[in-house]
Structure 1
């Protein structure tokens, strides 16, 4: 089967891009021809074919708002789509390319990762952009041949639009890339402040306001005042520079420079190292399409804010802890409870690993994906 994935900017450090790339890799190993089409490619050495269709330089918002205006560029993409069997899209503006001015002949599959709440962003510009995204999603849902959703919350929203989606988890795990048991001792020398810690807690993901990383930093302060010498690793891209600066300022003002480590975007080897090094993974995000399950590949439990769809990744008390209220005190309690019980941590991590091996391995995910799109 010839499959084309359309994504407006193919960049490192983003979860959706990693999903597309890992799923594409698995489909290629199964004998399918996969091509990723994008306006901008930040993966220079990508092992899956990527076709780049650059938009004009120097045009403000060209890549995320005004892209549909550049009809020649999009026409060139549509010409390529005539040669494939299935077109897979998700986010605006690429979601509209196979649908406007009319739907292309191949089967069009739209992935709705999740509807972001306006409350997740404070800027009026961000809210306006989010409104545009949501309107484009509605159009794509109505016009595509098949709609895939990642969670029950999104499924109910799509059904409310009069469309019956297919619910399946695309957020799989590449166990060849996520390597359990690799050497991580070099990180002790790289970050001396980690030495002698009572425990190491890791946040992995973009630094975005709705991720509530500031709440996690405040939880570190609470635990310090309780006499617990744990450390917090903040691993991931500084997607919102203003928020990233605020996090560092907050850390400094709270006197936590020796307890909070910001790594920024890291290499794949270092990411594996940090996962192997930490005792648990924590996520206080107030919205996710599907909570990142990578911790399970390393037999680590997850502490997360206990809202849907986070409960589809974390089974409370089984593979991790779901925190009922979004407060620093509640997260501090959950972290302290797991750090105090190594046996419980390891049991949760192991159960998460077994579940992930059975349901999230990309060999399993790809088979289900092919059943849906065929």
Structure 2
């Protein structure tokens, strides 16, 4: 029996241009294409650090969902919900964990422990868990005591580019990631400062969500003398981002942690060799023959990888072909939705059987 209705609870503005929100938005769209009725529940935007009023409003919304309608709750909110009140939610819960909240870089140790404890208790109350990668699944099994049969991997999908590459001269180094410490843009800047003897230009795309960190990045760019070569594009339209992907010669993200990293898939489908870090799910997402991975927080190693690609056009072309080949084999968003649909079927079956028992 095919499921026809699901609620999808997401904190804040669903149109926010970050990987997690893009994933949620595309999943909602594709489920509707498959014929599902998806009720979008817009939770307050204070998560994962809500006020008491925002927490109360969130539970008012979640507890109003019918017990025969499963609810997918985005991990940005779910991991921070009051565990005692999660038990009051009547609808079957499916948690969507992009990556555990405790894995965010720069958290104070006591806050990281609090997030870990809360998220672990909440995950113990769900019917099922959706994750974007095998890496995240393993973390939930090993560190959060979640049984493997309660976890479904639904990797992000891709859209194939419509236009051919338009490489620039000098070569464009593209980085895409919101301005948060976890994305490692400070490491990237320090790496770029070590290859100023080469001919290149760089663009860093991503909203300045952490204002203090964004200001630090601006100051660091100035201190390193990179104002003329590195452009902070900020939050841009999708069409402008696609243009940057077409114009770029390589992709660079000095991330400190990723639960998946959708931008890597976008780099691959655009044929961009990748320089990133050996951390989180990145090794599972970036094929070995399509880029170089170095340890996090190692600007010297990052700079050397960039130098190799910039000074060896034949190597860059080899990685370009491999990246594009891998990108073409990655799944489309419709396939992501089909994976989620399969995971929801047993949840819906249990909810319907309980409903009939009550009747």
- Shorter-chain TM-score: which interval? 0.7 to 0.9
Query: What count of residue pairs does the alignment treat as equivalent?
Result: 335
The residue aligned with 2:125 is: 143
Q: What is the DSSP-based 3-state SS (H/G/I as helix, E as strand, rest coil) of the residue aligned with 1:334?
A: helix
Conservation of the 8 A alpha-carbon contact between 1:98 and 1:108: no
Instruction: State the superposition RMSD in angstroms.
Output: 2.9
Indicate how the Cα distance of structure 1 residues 157 and 239 shifts in structure 2: closer, same or farther if over 3 A, else same. same
- How far did 1:183 drift? 8.7
1: CA distance, partners of 2:92 / 2:228: 54
1:91 correspondence with 2:94: no
- 1:32-57 Cα shifts (integer Å, max 9, x gaps): 1112212358xxxxxxxxxxxxxxxx
The residue aligned with 2:270 is: 298
- 1:16-95 to 2 correspondences below 5 Å: 16-40=20-44, 64-67=49-52, 71=56, 74-79=59-64, 81-82=65-66, 85-94=69-78
Conservation of the 8 A alpha-carbon contact between 2:207 and 2:235: yes
Conservation of the 8 A alpha-carbon contact between 1:68 and 1:93: no
- How far did 1:72 drift? 5.6
- How far did 1:244 drift? 0.9
Conservation of the 8 A alpha-carbon contact between 2:95 and 2:123: yes
Q: Which has the higher contact order (CA 8 A, sep 6+)?
A: 2
Indicate how the Cα distance of structure 1 residues 17 and 72 shifts in structure 2: closer, same or farther if over 3 A, else same. closer
- How far did 1:6 drift? 1.0
Conservation of the 8 A alpha-carbon contact between 2:186 and 2:220: yes
- How far did 1:144 drift? 0.1
| Unmatched 5+ stretches in structure 2 | 346-359
- How far did 1:280 drift? 1.3
- 1:324-343 to 2 correspondences below 5 Å: 324=295, 326-343=297-314
- How far did 1:110 drift? 1.1
Scaled by the length of structure 1, the TM-score of the pair is 0.79
- Hey, which of these two has a bigger chunk of helix by percent? 2
Conservation of the 8 A alpha-carbon contact between 1:212 and 1:286: yes
2: CA distance, partners of 1:353 / 1:214: 28
| Unmatched 5+ stretches in structure 1 | 42-60, 186-194
The residue aligned with 1:258 is: 228
The residue aligned with 1:367 is: 338
Conservation of the 8 A alpha-carbon contact between 2:200 and 2:229: yes
Which deviates more, 264-273 or 64-73? 64-73
1:15 correspondence with 2:15: no
